[in-house]
Amino acid sequence: MFGKLVKHEFRATGRFALPLCGAMLALALLAGTVLRFWNSLQNGWQGMAGNAIVILYGMSLFAVAVGIFVILMQRYKQNFFGDEGYLTRTLPVGEHALLLSKLLTAVCWYVAALALMALSVLLAGALAGGFTRADARDALDALRYYFPRIGASAALRALLGTLGGMSFVTLLCYAVATIAQNFSKHRFWYFVMTVVLLLALARLLAGLNLFLDARLARSVGVIGGADGPTAIYVTGGAPWLGLVELYLGNALLYFLTWAFLKFRPNLA
């Protein structure tokens, strides 16, 4: 059943997110073509049209970044507290499955949006002539040289940190929207609850940081080589401290949202 929920979420959000991403890629192709022949464009309507296309492409990057987030948040609110709320409650699944399916869908869309945005920039740069095959070979050579020296532990921390950060932003908005639903007739409490939630979470993480930081041994060093530094190492548990704090914050926001969805759904 969980797989069906995720599939349905992708279909519902993809109806809006995919056209948005498609428009961005199309504008990237047009912008790259315009920049390639920029010097040959006249100062009349052709130049104005070229400027407009390049500006629209820049705006499309912002639209994808913000638009997908808005689509996902609107989907969450509509699905739980809008016209679909009563239908959602009749599904033979619990709040955990409903919440996790939306969170997983959101993180996947964020990753896909970042990948497509990077692809659009590469396409525009390649068409404009600013990113050649030689540049691509140099980039691949740099990755082959530096990636093994970063180490699997650092790469894993970066991956977990990125996914954890995406989940944190999503869960924070879920929690605020869910709690504020109980104060829909008093808008002032919406802002009060938001501030209280942020301060409480920040206080928790800051207290944990002070507690653990005093007990973790930190040691940073560089292993040198003939052609420069070959590795950077950090000993002790300090490198993982930020991840522990981040995922504890995610857990707090998740169970706070789940508790309000289960015990105080307030569909009115």
**Rounded-to-integer distance, Cα 259 and Cα 95, Å:** 9
Q: Which residue has the higher pLDDT, 47 or 31?
A: 31
pLDDT of 205 reads: 63
- The rounded Cα 117 to chain-centroid distance in angstroms is 12
What average pLDDT score do residues 189-211 get?
63
* Lookup: tokens for 88: 């959602």
Q: Are 80 and 178 in contact (CB under 8 A)?
A: yes
Q: Tell me the pairing of strands 228-235 and 219-225.
A: antiparallel
CA–CA gap between residue 76 and residue 88 (Å, rounded): 11
* 182 burial via Cβ count (<10 Å: 0-12, 13-18, 19+): middle
pLDDT digits (tens, 9 = 90+) for 229-266: 444 444 445 556 667 777 888 888 888 888 888 877 66
* pLDDT tens digits, one per residue of 130-140: 666 676 677 67
Q: Phi and psi for 9 in degrees, rounded to 5?
A: -65, -40
What pLDDT score does 233 carry? 45
Give the separation between CA 98 and CA 258, rounded to whole angstroms: 10
Maximum average pLDDT range among 41-50, 187-196, 257-266: 257-266
What mean pLDDT value characterizes the chain?
A: 75
**Against a cut of 0.85, is the pTM above it?**
no
Mean pLDDT value across residues 100-109: 91
- Tell me which of 225 and 47 has the higher pLDDT: 47
Judge whether residue 219 has pLDDT over 50: no
The answer on pLDDT for 67 being more than 60 is: yes
C-alpha count within 13 angstroms, C-beta hemisphere, residue 102 = 24
Return the higher-pLDDT residue of 6 and 151. 6
Q: Among 3-12, 30-39, 109-118, whose mean pLDDT is lowest?
A: 30-39
| pLDDT at residue 110 is higher than 90 | yes
pLDDT of residue 45: 67
268 CB-contact burial (10 Å; exposed 0-12 / middle 13-18 / buried 19+):
exposed
**Is the per-residue pLDDT at 5 higher than 50?**
yes
pLDDT attached to residue 105: 92
